[in-house]
Amino acid sequence: MNYDLVLCGVGGQGVLSIAWVIDHAAHEAGLHFKQSEVHGMAQRGGAVSAFVRISDKPVASDLIATGVASMVLSMEPMEALRYTQLLRPDGWIVTDVTPLENDAYPQHEALYKVLFSVPRLVALDATRLATKAGTVKAQNMVVLGAAASQLPLSLELLEDQIQALFADKGERIVKANINAFRTGAAASQFAASLGDAGVPSDVLARVLPRLTFEPQPVSQKSIDAWCQRLLAPDAAESAMRMFEAAAVVPVDSCP
């Protein structure tokens, strides 16, 4: 088993905290891993990235070659697109859709058009979901939760390391980060169910960021309702309007 993971974002978004959780979970699982990282001008809003390579055999290098990464896990949509060349053909992108803009940032419409064309994508409003979970700083744990089902590590192992990482910050912060992680996992599991039912990836990409989730699995009743809605003939137009309106809809309240 080999799993190559690209983590990326902007300084202050907790990219290296995600790496810490994954590294320690891999160690507890008895797997081999290596990590490299680039900080850039992190404290001035610069890019931060880390390569994490996990295997059941010793890992020779901490660098990921073009076309072999299993996943790009990103805290910011533009940063996610920077690393698409590293993905293998069946690789996944998991990302927050909330832009952190600078003077050279592309127009949002153009950015989302490219991002939402990715066939294996989990895109969600992790910033909003983290705030709902208890602290906006848990944005990184929402994204990690959304990626967790694809990682070669159990949810339990990852949660154990989240608790260890934030233990010194008190019970409230631990709970907020665990809830953020579980919320991301619920969103990802929901998206997987809709994808398995045949909902087109570009439709799902526009709807998922506008849904709000609880830190628990989505009911089958809600999944069935959304499947029916998003397999309707007007689903693409409805998804576009929903994303552009930026309205927040509880996942258990299918329109």
Dump pLDDT digits (tens) for 51-110. 999 998 888 888 888 999 999 999 999 999 999 999 999 999 999 999 887 656 788 888
Measured N-to-C along each axis, helices 139-147 and 126-133 cross at an angle, to the nearest 10 degrees, of 110
User: Which pLDDT score, from 0 to 100, does residue 247 have?
Assistant: 84
Could you tell me the pTM of the whole model? 0.94
Percent of the chain residues topping a pLDDT of 90 = 78
Q: What is the overall mean pLDDT for the chain?
A: 91
The answer to whether residue 41 scores a pLDDT higher than 60 is no
User: Which pLDDT score, from 0 to 100, does residue 63 have?
Assistant: 84
User: In the beta sheet, which residues pair with residue 48?
Assistant: 9
- Which residues 6+ apart lie within 8 Å of 110 measured at CB? none
The answer to whether residue 157 scores a pLDDT higher than 90 is yes
User: Which pLDDT score, from 0 to 100, does residue 102 have?
Assistant: 65
CATH architecture of 2-186: 3-Layer(aba) Sandwich (3.40)
Dump pLDDT digits (tens) for 192-247. 999 999 999 999 999 999 999 999 999 999 999 999 999 999 999 999 999 998 88
Domain locations in the chain as residue ranges: 2-186
Dump pLDDT digits (tens) for 180-189. 999 999 999 9
User: Which pLDDT score, from 0 to 100, does residue 62 have?
Assistant: 82
Pairwise CA distance, residues 173 & 203, whole Å: 34
Residues in the chain: 255
